[in-house]
Amino acid sequence: MSGIRAVSAFVAATALALVVTACTGSGTPSATQAGNTNAASATGTAGAAGAGKASASAKPTPTGPAVTITPASGATDADPAAGITVTAAGGTLTSVTVSTPGDPVTGTYSGNRSAWHSTYALNVTQSYRVTAIAAAASGTTTTTTSSFRTLTPSSTFSTEIFEGYQQDYGVGMPIILTFSEPIKNEAAVERSIVLQTSKPVIGAWYWDGNQTLDFRPRDYWPAHTVVSFTGHFDGVEGAPGLYGYHTLTQTFDIGESVIAVVSTRTHHTQIYINGKLTYNWPISSGKPGDDTPDGSYLTIEKENPVRMIGPGYNLLVPWSVRFTFSGDYYHDAYWSVSEQGFENVSHGCVNLSPADAETYYKLAVPGDPITITGSPRPGTWDNGWTEWFLTWNQLVAGSALHEAVVAGPHGSVFVNPATLPANKAKAPLGIAMAGNNLD
């Protein structure tokens, strides 16, 4: 594996406390004062120098908005998962800036700019200084600062991403994240992730257990899409007392579309390249009792040759592309060329002629779709990258947020799946074939 490897509700504005400075004297309030129920005046007696004269009532000194920053200044064990909240009572926030040696901090204002909250969790064991400026309707401004430090957690988790930097992957490839510790606050982890894609993509996150999180698009990725991943895991509380301690980034590419479909009944495989049927090869799949399992799989790895060992055989097999963890491959089977196109004689693999196997081997990258049809044997979940066994509704149900992800060149957002446009993708080129069987 490669790679190293959210948002709280705004706090309600506090009540405005206006401090009014009273002065001595008596007289009639000005028009401004008369309309201010908080205005105050005091009546005094004239001194020797001003006997018989009443002093004019002075105007109160205007005060700025009351600004509150959380965490408070001086805190040394602030919860990074709670982020930063700034509120302004009696005014609007004109500026909130955060300085830190750690990751840059961004945030959003409420609709009326009376509050601001950081977008992602803060880094653990890090110092921060927040400066907030708010203005009242009168034009009076208030500047408030807070300097604090986040806690040092006793337990941490790390995250790895399968995809390698600037590596090419097939149009079916899921993003695969692995966590070093069990995650219980799955929703917080999902909210901390941003995807940026060079072409529009709709997908969803799916938890396969509590230590693996996958992203799969609703349909196959558009060919030649650049994908950038950012996991703002530093400061996320993945479970009570368990915090992430690093931000994970990665960029990889989706290459051309190479899609294979096998019929175990007609003994042929079709190879579609960038939407066009390019090859239609004779094959031999698993013989009765060793049937190649049905399902929409993905290529995992390839090797030339692979040593294969089984009942009655131990040999090096050229041009081998794996699509199940249990050992099913597309591969060169020079010994069964006469049966290819007519009979199933393999131990579960898809046998090809040497020339066809070499051609496919040179095309294949991890994540190319392979769909097996017509077999009496169902596929098995997690025997390979089986994310395409899932329907779209099943995929969304596996997200802690139960929301879809809409990604594009400017980042990603979570949306209600019911608001998405109808899916017009068709199998086998745009989406996996329906009816995958599972044990």
Determine the Cα–Cα distance for residues 202 and 189; give it in Å rounded to an integer. Answer: 19
Specify if 355 maps to a domain: yes
Same domain, 233 and 105: no
What pTM value is reported for the model?
A: 0.84
Identify the CA nearest to 365 among candidates 436, 273, 262.
Answer: 273
The phi and psi torsions of 38 (rounded to 5 degrees) equal: -90, 0
Specify if 319 maps to a domain: yes
Q: Last residue of some domain: 119, 149, 179?
A: 149
Q: Domain holding 243: CATH number?
A: 2.40.440.10
Same domain, 94 and 118: yes
Same domain, 82 and 192: no
What is the Cβ-side half-sphere exposure of residue 79, based on CA atoms within 13 angstroms?
Answer: 12
Q: Which pLDDT value is given to residue 11?
A: 30
Q: Which pLDDT value is given to residue 365?
A: 98
Specify if 15 maps to a domain: no
**Catalytic positions, please?**
331, 349
Same domain, 191 and 279: yes
Determine the Cα–Cα distance for residues 142 and 88; give it in Å rounded to an integer. Answer: 9
Same domain, 247 and 140: no
Specify if 42 maps to a domain: no
Same domain, 211 and 132: no
Residues of the chain with confidence (pLDDT) below 70:
1-62, 435-439
Q: Which pLDDT value is given to residue 312?
A: 87
Q: Last residue of some domain: 149, 168, 190?
A: 149
Q: Which pLDDT value is given to residue 434?
A: 79
Q: Last residue of some domain: 116, 131, 149?
A: 149
Question: In sequence order, which residues have a C-beta less than 8 Å from that of residue 49 and are 6 or more positions away?
Answer: none
Q: Which range of residues forms the domain containing residue 94? A: 66-149
Same domain, 211 and 268: yes
Same domain, 199 and 184: yes
3-state secondary structure 122-155: CCCCCEEEEEEEEECCCCCEEEEEEEEEECCCCE
Identify the CA nearest to 386 among candidates 378, 376, 374.
Answer: 378
Specify if 210 maps to a domain: yes
- Give me the chain's average pLDDT, please: 88
Q: Which pLDDT value is given to residue 63?
A: 76
**Contact at 8 Å (CB) between 140 and 62?**
yes
Q: Domain holding 115: CATH number?
A: 2.60.40.3780
Specify if 390 maps to a domain: yes
Instruction: Indicate the number of domains in the chain.
Output: 2
Helix (H, G, I), strand (E, B) or coil at 187: helix
Q: Which pLDDT value is given to residue 351?
A: 98
Specify if 33 maps to a domain: no
Specify if 366 maps to a domain: yes
